[in-house]
Amino acid sequence: MGLENKLFHGKTLAILTGGGDTPALNSSIESIRNRAALLGYKVFGIRQGWKGLLGDGDIIDLTNQPYDAWYGGTALRSSRTNPFPTKKNPESRVPQILKNLERYKIDVLVTIGGDDTNGAAKKLYETEGIPVIGFPKTIDNDLRTRTMHRYVGSQIEAVVCPGFPSAAKGLVELMTRLRTTAESHSRILVAEIMGRDAGWLTGSAVFGGVEMALIPEVEMTKERKEFFFERVKEMYMRSAKKSMIIAVSEGVRWYDETTGKVDVVYASSEVDEYGHPRFGGISGVIASEISKRIGIDARAQITGYYARAGECRNYDRRLTMTLADKVADLLIREDYGKMPVLSKIVKYQELEEFNTGAIDMGDIGNKSLPEVYYDVENFRFTDLYVDFLSHILDKPKVITFDYDFPVVIPE
């Protein structure tokens, strides 16, 4: 079949990536590009998110280019540029964006992003009639995808966002490694994990064997902190090797004795164009309070970009291809203003288009960790969360070395 006979011959689709990178972005770009090109589209990449549509524009042609889908991050680069007026930047950039969409003759826009990027795309669709399709991404896993999780007769609204599976797998590996150092020094390690205001990613550390976890959804008030320190001491004393790992979300709300307030620990007072401050440092605060309050040597580890960086893992690769199949379906039906999602949580082998759906971009928003996934009393994730995660990751294989050598007493 000649190119000119293809359904969308003569049309151009452009892809952009906005917000924090994930290991699954290149896989998403490649998968969408392949399907759009098959349908006859010329496929452009817009560099640095919305920023690439400002000024003269920064656009590249991806149509027939070799592309490494397994390489993490985004070859299109990313930014947190907001097209709409904000406190930080009161000027609207929408006119520049509209001008460039016209200059580069872009017919359809696919925005790969979280709540911010796709929220802006949705606004452009609603206010300017720009044909957009949103594509989910975030290691935080807090973008509403309406993915249902069935567990022993109950139905839980969960989330599965490309990027999360790879980040979770990386964290499991890291937690497993940290254990040997914690054990060698009889220490408590407080591992701080990204995820902004949601505890989804922190939960993945459970598969790496962490004993306790703190999440942003449950405030650490003065009273709760007392209870927490008691439990830490108890767990540590009970541990065979006198060591433990506590996973804490970067966005944990912690009672500060000096101010008398419960708040997040900020890495900087700067906010981005979507109004988000930068979190960081809670692990240091918790580790030093543990050392002071219960006299056990505790150290902080900020895991930071470890989760976000590196290669795309298998689940994410197939997930992005599956969601891109849904994008092709939306393109064929010219059904814009939608975002493809996994409609139910499935194992790798079942990542197929029939398990996907499309949600209205108007319904996109943040989704925090469901209450049933976290055991408030015991500072742990529940069996329900473990069941959710075991669809995405293999059952935990925590390597242990259980030694109990006889002590030598001099004669």
Nearest to residue 75, comparing CAs of 32, 109, 118, 115? Answer: 32
Positions 76 through 105 that interact with ligand F6P (CB under 6 A): none
Positions 234 through 253 that interact with ligand F6P (CB under 6 A): 250
The count of chain residues that interact with ligand F6P, using the rule CB under 6 A, is 11
Mark the segment that binds ligand F6P (CB under 6 A) among 133-141, 323-331, 372-380, 387-395. 133-141
- String of DSSP letters for 190-206: EEEE--TT--HHHHHGG
* Residue 370 CA to its chain's centroid (Å): 16
> Least separation, in Å, of the C-beta of 324 and ligand F6P?
22
Residue 234, judged by CB atoms within 10 A of its CB (0-12, 13-18, 19+), counts as exposed
Annotated catalytic residue within 140, 142, 197, 316: 140
Interface with ligand F6P (CB under 6 A), residue from 132, 139, 244, 319: 139
> Least separation, in Å, of the C-beta of 260 and ligand F6P?
26
- What is the SS3 assignment for 177? helix
- What is the SS3 assignment for 402? coil
Binding mask 13-32 for ligand F6P (x = CB under 6 A): -------x------------
Question: N- to C-terminal Cα distance for the chain?
Answer: 91
Interface with ligand F6P (CB under 6 A), residue from 44, 279, 336, 374: 279
Interface with ligand F6P (CB under 6 A), residue from 113, 119, 195, 216: 195
> Least separation, in Å, of the C-beta of 108 and ligand F6P?
26
Report the distance separating Cα 222 and Cα 161, nearest Å: 34
Beta strands in 288-363, from DSSP E residues, in sequence order? 298-302, 338-342, 356-360
Report the distance separating Cα 131 and Cα 160, nearest Å: 25
Q: Per CB under 6 A, does 308 bind ligand F6P?
A: yes
Q: Per CB under 6 A, does 225 bind ligand F6P?
A: no
- What is the SS3 assignment for 34? helix
Report the distance separating Cα 171 and Cα 305, nearest Å: 10
Mark the segment that binds ligand F6P (CB under 6 A) among 132-140, 252-260, 290-298, 338-346. 132-140
Is 325 among the residues known to form the active site? no
Q: Per CB under 6 A, does 138 bind ligand F6P?
A: yes
Closer to ligand F6P by Cβ: residue 280 or 340: 280
240: tokens are 């065979």
**Three-point CA angle 252, 257, 263, nearest 5°:** 30
Mark the segment that binds ligand F6P (CB under 6 A) among 3-11, 193-201, 344-352, 385-393. 193-201
CA atoms within 13 A on the CB side of 205: 32
Closer to ligand F6P by Cβ: residue 62 or 139: 139
> Least separation, in Å, of the C-beta of 153 and ligand F6P?
33
Report the distance separating Cα 206 and Cα 224, nearest Å: 21
Closer to ligand F6P by Cβ: residue 81 or 356: 81
Q: Which residues bind ligand F6P (CB under 6 A)?
A: 20, 138-140, 194-196, 250, 278-279, 308
Q: Which residues are catalytic?
A: 140
